[in-house]
Structure 1
Amino acid sequence: MAKRVFFSFHYQDVIDFRANVVRNHWVSKPDRASAGFFDASIWESAKKTGDIALKRLINGAIKNTSNTCVLIGSDTFNRKWVSYEIMKSMQVGNHIFGVHINGIKGKDGKTKTKGSNPLYFLGYSFSDDGTKINLHDYINGKWIKYPDLDGYSVNKVDEKYRNKIYRLSEDYPVYDWNGDDGYKNFSKWTK
């Protein structure tokens, strides 16, 4: 059965056509179900509204999805709204995975070196009493409280897991569209 996937990406990668290769690869499959997903992402052009309206738009787009695919280009790690989409996806319990797309030829016919993994720059910790997840952003070599979304309650975790920040890159897989044959394997990456 096809999953509903929210795609998180930097709009420059849409302009360069790299993001579109992944998001539209189902077109050459027999049907959308055989591609393994339905696209539930929103376009960056809609991101010209205010922060509150934009958060509502993102929250609505993530709702009723089970997967969030972060398309990793050159500057994806540095995009505020990509970070928010990842953190919100984590909060709602989506399966999150990244896909490096700089190996895909852009509209200029060239590839780029891999971009930094945005999941490396985002993290979480458990509260002192182990009943809440706190969210963190890695800025200029330091962990800070994530500014755009509050933490949330979880089932109490053992004391040994508290007072440590875990990078999302430790918990969520990252693939390479070309190197890991995304055209063939994308449906296996979703849950």
Structure 2
Amino acid sequence: MRRTFFSFHYAPDVWRAWNVRNSWVVQNEKNSEGFFDGSVFEASQKESDDVLKAFLRKGLENTSVTCVLAGASTWSRRWVRYEIARSVVKGNGLLTVNIDGVKNDKGMSSIKGANPLAQMALYRTTSGIFLAEWKEGKWVKYADYTLAIPEKDLWFDAPRTTNIVQLSTHCMSYDFVEQNGRTNIGSWIETAAGLAGR
């Protein structure tokens, strides 16, 4: 079973996320693919940034894939971006699963948001390879992880120039409702793991 970290925007999407995260239970008896839940929920907002970052890094330990469950505004969330950044550094496979069509506890779906993996990118400078994020209408250096990423730690081709290369270029994206995620999410996760050599 694949240990997978689920990244999502807590307040509007927790009900949808629970449905997606638990869908493997339904298929587990007939299908060996699936995942163990290695994710964490949002920590207390009373914590400092450093404590919260450590909490999220701990949640990523022992996982090999990060599945970003994308709702309407997941792409803009600071801590989702941090989870994505640390997943890149760790070498996890990455994928996006759109969950806007999954109904919440009130029976309502949401609107489709941007792909969070298209809002983060890598670029090369003379000092190394760095993360960038789309913020306020432009690409800027990612502020919550500013160290260079060793090229050997990337499972995909590293950028060759200063041009931005979005993470979505290397990662698959799916729609949970339109592509029958209840049946297929296990194989999507296995594909992400395979692409990353995990």
Asked if TM exceeds 0.5, the reply is yes
**1:186 is aligned with what amino acid?**
I
**Equivalence for 2:196:** none
- Tell me: CA distance 1:42–1:48, structure 2 relative to 1, closer, same or farther (3 Å): farther
The answer to whether the Cα contact below 8 Å between 1:13 and 1:19 also exists between their aligned partners in 2 is no
How far did residue 22 of structure 1 move? 0.5
Separation in 2, partners of 1:166, 1:159: 9
The answer to whether the Cα contact below 8 Å between 1:6 and 1:41 also exists between their aligned partners in 2 is yes
Is residue 167 of structure 2 the alignment partner of residue 168 of structure 1? yes
How far did residue 45 of structure 1 move? 4.1
**Equivalence for 1:121:** 119
**Equivalence for 1:152:** 149
**Equivalence for 2:34:** 36
Separation in 2, partners of 1:68, 1:25: 16
**Equivalence for 1:68:** 66
> Equivalent of 2:80, from 74, 79, 82?
82
Secondary structure of 2:140's aligned partner: strand
Secondary structure of 2:94's aligned partner: strand
TM-score after normalising by structure 2: 0.85
The answer to whether the Cα contact below 8 Å between 1:32 and 1:38 also exists between their aligned partners in 2 is no
Shifted more, 3-12 versus 111-120: the winner is: 111-120
> Equivalent of 2:138, from 120, 136, 142?
142
How many corresponding residue pairs?
Answer: 186
**1:148 is aligned with what amino acid?**
D
**2:137 is aligned with what amino acid?**
G
Separation in 2, partners of 1:5, 1:120: 20
Deviations 1:95-125 (A, max 9, x none): 0000000101111212122111111111111
Secondary structure of 1:161's aligned partner: coil
**1:179 is aligned with what amino acid?**
E
> Equivalent of 1:91, from 64, 89, 92?
89
The answer to whether the Cα contact below 8 Å between 2:151 and 2:158 also exists between their aligned partners in 1 is no
- Tell me: CA distance 1:54–1:45, structure 2 relative to 1, closer, same or farther (3 Å): closer
Secondary structure of 2:183's aligned partner: helix
- Tell me: CA distance 1:134–1:45, structure 2 relative to 1, closer, same or farther (3 Å): closer
Separation in 2, partners of 1:154, 1:122: 17
How large is the RMSD of aligned CA atoms in angstroms? Answer: 2.4
Separation in 2, partners of 1:63, 1:186: 21
TM-score after normalising by structure 1: 0.88
Separation in 1, partners of 2:101, 2:38: 24
Higher relative contact order (CA 8 A, sep 6+): 2
The answer to whether the Cα contact below 8 Å between 1:136 and 1:143 also exists between their aligned partners in 2 is yes
Structure 2 regions of 5+ residues with no counterpart? 194-198
* 4+ aligned runs moved over 3 Å, structure 1: 29-35, 45-48
**2:150 is aligned with what amino acid?**
S
